[in-house]
Amino acid sequence: MIDKRNPMLQEYDNKVKALTEYSAGAKSWMAPMVGAGTFMTPYPNQQIMDERDKGSWMFSIEQEIPNPSKLNANKDYLQSRADVEKQGRAIRYNNLRSEAKTYYYQWLVAEKKVKVLQENTRIMNLMLKLAQIRYPYNQGSLGNIYKAEGRLSEIQNMLLMTQSDIENKSYRLKALLNIHSTDSIMVDTASVVRFEPDQLLNDTTALREQRSDIKQIDETIEVMLLNQQLQKFQAKPDFKIRFDHMQPIGNMPKQFTAMAMVSIPIAPWSSKMYRAEVKGMQYDVEAMKKGREAILIETKGMLTGMARQMVRMKQQLDNYETKIIPALRKNYQTVMLAYEENREQLPMVIDAWEALNMAQMEHLNKLEEYYLMIVSYEKEIEK
């Protein structure tokens, strides 16, 4: 949906269309020149000795004929620039898609936090009611009631903050999708995000074929080479033809002049510029090749490191889900049961609940970090 609706991508589409139109006119010739005037006409009040001294009316037409090889090279150069813009669009799309994934996963984790906080609200309300019931019978202190009220208010604040974060992410997603802010969108809270390292991308050749920024460098190199070729063709001559017709004013025969001209671009004072351009572009091409190689090597190492790190993070998440949180929940349930049977005090219950709540929130924070690292990984391989 981003691919079709986002205005940033439509901007690139129009740039590509513009360059395509420019290339369509690259083989055009200059417009012909026509002129009219007098030829060898005497000034007024001059003595005329002969009919030929009266001069002539002169009509001229002139046409430049560019070298066909230059026109073809210029067309190829302009068309290649459109290919660079196409890869620029692919880079922008990859960035926007990764941004949308980031907002989506943050929203997904925030929804999970809301569920935890709502459950915590229910638990703290239960603790507060029990404390208020026991206080008149001297089975609890007033401080315990205030402590439970404080924890309940903290949870409500966290809930408000999380809901505000969800609203923020929803509006950002709507902006990326270019839909109205009043339209409703939701996340699938039942979705499961899985990560599988892409073994194919351990090869820099495969990575080169996958990444748009590398393709853009390739296309830019191609543009430089075609521009270099265009500059080399500056050594080829251009042509011009001219025809002049003289219509005599006196009794003289009609006359004409026909000329064909050719430029001499190999002259030392004119060839220095395009020769320097050709050499300079070659150095630019070599520099871009080295930059491309550096990006590929760096990306390969980064992807390998990210894949290993995500495997470790998944192990940590599994420990939270199968060991840490279940153990702390059992501890809380045990202390809560003892409190209900008057064998434990409310502060101990709150401490057990806080340990459980802290573990749950830490688990969700690590889950968000894990999701965002997946987004970063997929952004690097444009998946």
Per-residue pLDDT 10s for the chain (383 aa) are 788 888 888 888 898 888 888 888 888 888 999 999 988 888 887 777 777 778 889 999 999 998 888 888 888 888 888 889 999 999 999 999 999 999 999 999 999 999 999 999 998 888 888 778 776 766 667 777 888 888 889 999 999 999 999 999 999 998 988 888 788 888 888 887 888 877 766 677 778 888 899 999 999 999 999 989 888 888 888 899 999 999 888 778 888 899 999 988 888 877 888 888 889 989 999 999 999 999 988 888 888 888 889 999 999 999 999 999 999 999 999 998 888 888 888 888 889 999 999 999 999 999 999 999 999 999 988 88
Set out the domains of the chain in order of their start, with CATH numbers.
2-42+52-381 (1.20.1600.10)
- Tokens 């002539």: give the residue: 56
Q: Which residues of 274-292 are buried (b: 16+ CB within 10 A; e: fewer)?
A: beebbeebeeebeeeeeeb
Q: Report how far apart, in Å, the C-alpha atoms of 203 and of each of 16, 130, 199, 212, 289 are.
A: 31, 63, 8, 16, 18
Helices 142-177, 346-381: crossing angle, 10 deg rounding: 20
Q: Which two tokens stand for residue 220?
A: 């830019």
Asked if 139 and 342 touch (Cβ cutoff 8 Å), the reply is yes
- What are the beta bridge partners of residue 34? 61
Q: Secondary structure of 235-301 in the HEC alphabet?
A: HCCCEEEEEEEEEECCCCCCEEEEEEEECCCCCHHHHHHHHHHHHHHHHHHHHHHHHHHHHHHHHHH
The pTM (predicted TM-score) of the whole model is 0.82
Give the CA radius of gyration of the chain: 39
Q: How far is the C-alpha of 184 from the C-alpha of 181, rounded, in Å?
A: 8
Q: What is the DSSP string of 113-145?
A: HHHHHHHHHHHHHHHHHHHHHHGGGTSS-HHHH
- Predicted local confidence at residue 257, as pLDDT: 92
Task: State residue 322's pLDDT score.
Answer: 94
Residue ranges in 320-345 assigned as alpha helix (H): 325-340
Whole-angstrom Cα distance, residue 363 to residue 319?
10
Report pLDDT for 243: 96
- CA dist 331 and 359 (Å) reads 13
Cβ proximity of 58 and 36 under 8 Å? yes
